[in-house]
Amino acid sequence: MMEKQTTITGSVSEGTMLLVNLFPKFVDVLEGIDPGQAEEFKTEYEEAIDDGEDLGYILDDLFDALDQIAPDGHYFGASTADRASYGFWPVEE
Question: pLDDT (tens digit, 9 = 90+) per residue, 32-55?
Answer: 999 999 999 999 999 988 888 888
Residue 24 host element (H or E): helix 19-33
Determine, yes or no, domain membership for 81. no
Determine, yes or no, domain membership for 85. no
**CB neighbours (10 Å) of residue 27?**
19
Determine, yes or no, domain membership for 88. no
Q: Are 16 and 86 in contact (CB under 8 A)?
A: no
Closest alpha carbon to 63 in 9, 25, 10, 91: 25
Determine, yes or no, domain membership for 45. yes
16 pLDDT more than 60:
yes
**Residue 43: domain span:** 18-71
In single-letter form, the type of residue at position 76 comes to F
Determine, yes or no, domain membership for 90. no
**Number of domains comprising the chain:** 1
- How sure is the predictor about 19, in pLDDT bands with cuts at 50, 70 and 90? confident
2 pLDDT more than 70:
no
d(CA 81, CA 18): 19
Determine, yes or no, domain membership for 84. no
